[in-house]
Structure 1
Amino acid sequence: MGESIAAKAIISKLLAARPHLNIVVTTTTPTGAKQIIEGLGDKVTHHYSPCDLPGTIKRFVKRIRPLGLVIMETELWPNWLYHMRKAKLPVVLANARMSQKSADKYAKISSLSEQMMQSLSLVLAVCENDAERFIHLGVKQKNCLITGNIKFDQHFVPSDINEYFPPWKDDSKGCIWLAASTHKGEDKLLLSAHQKVLKSCPKAKLIIVPRHPERFDEVANLVSEYGLSLARRSQPGSWDGQCDVLLGDTMGELMQAYELSDVAFVAGSLVPIGGHNMIEPAMLGKPVLSGPYVHNFQEIFNELKEHAGIRQADSAEDICREVVELLQSPEQRMAMGANAKMVVERSRGALNRTVEALESFLLDKA
């Protein structure tokens, strides 16, 4: 979904300047498709991405007859790249990220990865380290530009009245922490941390939002196993202002959950997933917490840490300590959130740079 949101921003800006463009967008998940279909409607043509098999890609390319391909972030598929190269069509990798962990994996299959990297006509990297990794793997230096991370240019207008969970809107102000985009293996740690938080902050509330919808019921059962009272965002009949935990079991509402919270823990970082988007809570001026596995967002983490906008914790005890300290100190909480927001504000501009690069590279062919 994150890639779809970034793609939507690029496409909207392109179409604003050139409304005649015929753009086909492919996604691989229903949530990504929803972002494109609801956000762009009939301004684009949407298809689910074909499987990366030689015959499938060949037929799809023949049917679509593209003038070029823009890939978001790191969705590198060998057959897509092969057929575009064979057809002598340009391929641009936009908002391109390459963690050291991913680079090491590509390096192990150097013969294939070098061929793939040389198929990229232009790489618009989010930072210098990403650019260097792409170049090391085989992208020509002249084909690699640093444009920044489009996710810094996302805009979310906070509402005066947050309706994400009305029972907590007023009475629980200053007591809510959020565990966002959790994976299997993290929920138990976070629920254990909340049990400990309640001993120091009896009014504390936890919003827990699993990354994948198929885990909603599983996490709901875990909340009960930990003896914590539960409400579900999707079931207004369960809403109770006295509940210990709110399960965010809806899609596309994470920003509203961030807005309601006072402290944000970005998950996918307590297990070796590599972390999720820290920019979203930082953009809203929330103090950010994270586990130790942040390689997918290492540069952003480093910048947030350098400016005291994020802290790390890797155990239930550490998470509890950080949450309690921030919930009990409004001054600390506000200062840390302001630091995080400052990092986002000064990092904007990637969207304009990306669109300018695409216009000069692709649109003259349209």
Structure 2
Amino acid sequence: MALSEALASFAVKSYSWFGAAVYPLTAPLLAYRAAKGKEDRSRRSERLGHASLERPFGPLVWIHAASVGETTAVIPLMRELRRRDIHVLLTTGTVTSAAVAESRLGDTVIHQYVPLDFLPAVRRFLDYWQPDAAIGVESEIWPTTMSELRRRHIPQILVNARMSDRSFDRWQRYKSVAEALFGKLALVIAQSDVDAERFRDLGAWPVIVSGNIKVDSDAPPCEESTLNHYRQQIAGRKTWAAISTFEGEEKIAAMVQRALKAHTGMLTILVPRHPERSDDIEAMLIEKGLTVARRTRGDAITPETDVFLGDTIGEMGLYLRLTEVAFVGRSLAAEGGQNPLEPALLGCAILSGPQVSNFRESYQRLVRKGSARIVRDAEMLAKAVHFLLNNDVARLKMIDAGHESVQEMRGALTATLKGLEPYISPLSVKAKLEPRGAVQS
């Protein structure tokens, strides 16, 4: 064994040894996180690999989607697997993503919280669920889980895979470790040619390109009665939305509202990426002299309301349908960007800061088509919002370009299913040959 391979093997084993050493501390850690609202108190044992539901009889594919964006992206894939009579076990890592899974999928899939990447939890989880294949979404790499899946000869696949600049640079510094981990993957289905090349460079093989399956997702849903309720309250006021915002970007949104309200009577719809920050955000807005209506309280939007604070989970479809101009966060006061495809799907002219490395290809296509604009700072954002709200021709042109861009980018789900065919077709045949309704012990 080459020296680099030996060092990589030692690094992975050291990670496992460290996990074994800290495993006794996981229960109090989970209790602390539950007290902070970051874990589901009634289900935190799932994080230690304890199942809370029965495993159905027949083939089962484990899909792990870390958070809301990944969960939403793979909903069409999960529905396709269910159409083929393959059971789906979906794991997520956050309370918000679990709520989205419940609202969008109900009991059509089995939901559990993902086990912590410690060997006792992982083994307990795999012993019980016995998945026929494991599919990760975008960029989830857990060394202990990957090693245990490999030991059990369970194929592990990464779909809609992406590799950010920062992650690639970090893996490059530990390339032998990366090769030891990425080499365990049976298949990587990447979002773009750049992502594919990066995964290949880090030892993954085979790697194919599908495009971004988020483009093939349905537009986020919304109750028509709720939408009409708020539209009546807004009563024709000009609106813009700042969505998926991170700390610092809410202050920018407040500045835009204060700068433009006198000229336009504008209403700001503010949707933070992490709703648990909403109390602090509201306090900041009030301190700046702004009147706030919160969705969770059922506050009415009156002519005096400056900011409608969207502090709920899974209602992006509502918030984006209340406007035609959307700033997508994590791009001015934070780095990486957030998914711009939902606002494009729902008919919004898109504004974003320049820090969008996690969605570079999507933004390049949208900007090139004329459906998105990049702003450098708060002042430029305010000017862009003012221009679009007062220029119907320019705004509608961006909206139409967004619809065209999304249509041109579709097809990733078909490409993903084609790549997965060698793994899911045998399971589909197996499902049809086995009796239904039994529970696997």
Q: Normalising to structure 1: TM-score of the pair?
A: 0.93
Match among 223, 231, 256 for residue 193 of structure 1: 256
For residue 34 of structure 2, what is the aligned residue in structure 1? none
CA 1:211–1:341: 2 relative to 1, 3 Å: same
Residue identity matched to 2:422: S
Is 1:23 the equivalent of 2:82?
Answer: no
C-alpha separation between the residues in 2 aligned to 1:351 and 1:277? Answer: 17
Deviation at 1:33, TM superposition (A): 1.7
Which range moved further: 325-334 or 3-12? 3-12
Match among 280, 285, 290 for residue 223 of structure 1: 285
For residue 38 of structure 2, what is the aligned residue in structure 1? none
Match among 392, 398, 404 for residue 336 of structure 1: 398
Is 1:247 the equivalent of 2:309?
Answer: yes
For residue 114 of structure 2, what is the aligned residue in structure 1? 49
Deviation at 1:159, TM superposition (A): 7.7
For residue 414 of structure 2, what is the aligned residue in structure 1? 352
For residue 145 of structure 2, what is the aligned residue in structure 1? 80
Misfit runs of 4+, over 6 Å: 157-161
Residue identity matched to 1:35: V
Contact 2:134 2:156 survives alignment (8 Å):
yes
Contact 1:167 1:239 survives alignment (8 Å):
no
Which range moved further: 130-139 or 233-242? 233-242
User: SS state of the match for residue 42, structure 1?
Assistant: coil
Is 1:179 the equivalent of 2:246?
Answer: no
For residue 120 of structure 1, what is the aligned residue in structure 2? 185
CA 1:41–1:336: 2 relative to 1, 3 Å: closer
Residue identity matched to 2:77: I
Deviations 1:136-182 (A, max 9, x none): 11112xx111111111012237887723624444321xx10000011
Deviation at 1:242, TM superposition (A): 3.0
Residue identity matched to 2:119: P
In structure 2, runs of 5+ residues without a counterpart are: 1-67, 431-441
CA 1:251–1:58: 2 relative to 1, 3 Å: same
CA 1:86–1:160: 2 relative to 1, 3 Å: closer
C-alpha separation between the residues in 2 aligned to 1:158 and 1:251? Answer: 12
User: SS state of the match for residue 23, structure 1?
Assistant: strand
Contact 1:180 1:265 survives alignment (8 Å):
yes
C-alpha separation between the residues in 2 aligned to 1:304 and 1:91? Answer: 32
Residue identity matched to 1:326: L
C-alpha separation between the residues in 2 aligned to 1:250 and 1:159? Answer: 14
Which range moved further: 235-244 or 326-335? 235-244
For residue 339 of structure 2, what is the aligned residue in structure 1? 277
Tell me the percent identity. 34
Which range moved further: 235-244 or 78-87? 235-244
CA 1:111–1:64: 2 relative to 1, 3 Å: same
Residue identity matched to 1:322: A
For residue 357 of structure 2, what is the aligned residue in structure 1? 295
TM-align CA RMSD: 1.8
Is 1:318 the equivalent of 2:376?
Answer: no
Match among 84, 89, 92 for residue 157 of structure 2: 92
Is 1:149 the equivalent of 2:218?
Answer: no
For residue 139 of structure 1, what is the aligned residue in structure 2? 204
Residue identity matched to 1:215: R
User: SS state of the match for residue 236, structure 1?
Assistant: coil
C-alpha separation between the residues in 1 aligned to 2:157 and 2:272? Answer: 32
CA 1:171–1:36: 2 relative to 1, 3 Å: closer
C-alpha separation between the residues in 2 aligned to 1:240 and 1:199? Answer: 16
The structure having more radius of gyration, on CA atoms, is 2
Deviation at 1:13, TM superposition (A): 1.1
User: SS state of the match for residue 277, structure 1?
Assistant: coil
C-alpha separation between the residues in 2 aligned to 1:158 and 1:332? Answer: 27
CA 1:42–1:247: 2 relative to 1, 3 Å: closer
For residue 236 of structure 1, what is the aligned residue in structure 2? 298
Would you say how many aligned residue pairs link Structure 1 and Structure 2?
359
Deviations 1:298-333 (A, max 9, x none): 110111111111111232211111001111101100
CA 1:154–1:11: 2 relative to 1, 3 Å: same
Match among 77, 83, 98 for residue 10 of structure 1: 77
Contact 2:354 2:376 survives alignment (8 Å):
yes
Residue identity matched to 2:207: C
Contact 1:74 1:97 survives alignment (8 Å):
yes
Deviations 1:320-357 (A, max 9, x none): 11001111101100001111221111111111221232
Deviation at 1:223, TM superposition (A): 1.1
C-alpha separation between the residues in 1 aligned to 2:277 and 2:222? Answer: 28
Deviation at 1:7, TM superposition (A): 2.4
